[in-house]
Amino acid sequence: MSDSIRLKWLLSESDIRAGMKAETLPLLSVSISWGVRRREATDTSTRAAAEDLSNYKICRAGDLVINRMRAFQGALGIAPEDGIVSPDYAVLSVGPRIDTRWLKHFLTSRSTVATMASLVRGIGGTEAGNVRTPRLNIADLLSMTAPLVSTEEQGVITDYLDHETARIDTLIDEQQRLIELLHERRHALVGRVFDTRLPNTRLQNACTDVVDCPHTTPEVADDGAYEAVRTASVRNGKFRPGNGLPVSAETWEARNAGGAPSVGDVLFTREAPAGEACMVPNEQICLGQRMVLLRINDAVCVGEFLLWQIYSDRVQDHFLLSANGSTVANVRLPILRTTPIWLPSLAEQRQIVTHLDEQTTKIDELVSETEQFIELARERRSALITAAVTGQIDVREAA
Highest mean pLDDT among 64-78, 148-162, 245-259, 342-356: 342-356
Select from 134, 142, 40, 143 the least CA-distant residue to 88. Answer: 134
Q: By three-state DSSP, how is residue 138 classified?
A: helix
At which of 130, 148, 166 does a domain end?
148
Asked if 79 and 140 sit in the same domain, the reply is: yes
Q: pLDDT averaged over the chain?
A: 89
Domain membership of residue 155 (yes or no) is no
Rg over alpha carbons for the chain, rounded to the nearest Å, is 27
What 244-247 contacts at long range (C-beta under 8 Å, 24+ apart), as own/partner pairs, is 244/285, 244/288, 245/218, 245/220, 245/288, 246/220, 246/221, 246/222, 247/218, 247/219, 247/220, 247/221, 247/286
Q: Is the pLDDT of residue 124 over 80?
A: no
pLDDT at 74: 82
Amino acid at 195: D
Tell me the torsion sign for CA atoms 100, 103, 108, 113. negative
Domain membership of residue 366 (yes or no) is no
pLDDT at 139: 92
Q: Which helix (H) or strand (E) holds 361?
A: helix 346-389
For residue range 23-37, list pLDDT tens digits in order: 899 999 998 878 899
Asked if 260 and 332 sit in the same domain, the reply is: yes
Mean pLDDT of 245-271: 94
Domain membership of residue 171 (yes or no) is no
Select from 188, 287, 184 the least CA-distant residue to 229. Answer: 287
Mean pLDDT of 305-334: 85
Q: Is the pLDDT of residue 192 over 80?
A: yes
Domain membership of residue 375 (yes or no) is no
Rounded to 10 degrees, the C-alpha dihedral 151/155/156/159 comes to: 170
* Alpha carbons 221 and 53: distance in angstroms, whole number: 45
Q: Is the pLDDT of residue 324 over 80?
A: no
Asked if 213 and 327 sit in the same domain, the reply is: yes
Residue 33's contacts (CB-CB under 8 Å, 6 or more residues apart) are: none
Domain membership of residue 362 (yes or no) is no
Share of the chain above pLDDT 90, in %: 71
What CATH number does residue 326 fall under? 3.90.220.20
For residue range 351-395, list pLDDT tens digits in order: 999 999 999 999 999 999 999 999 999 999 999 999 999 888 888
Asked if 232 and 316 sit in the same domain, the reply is: yes
Asked if 8 and 81 sit in the same domain, the reply is: yes
Tell me the torsion sign for CA atoms 62, 67, 71, 75. negative
Count structural domains, the chain.
2
Q: What is the pTM of this model?
A: 0.76
Asked if 202 and 299 sit in the same domain, the reply is: yes
At which of 116, 148, 180 does a domain end?
148
Range of the domain at 209: 198-343
pLDDT at 392: 87
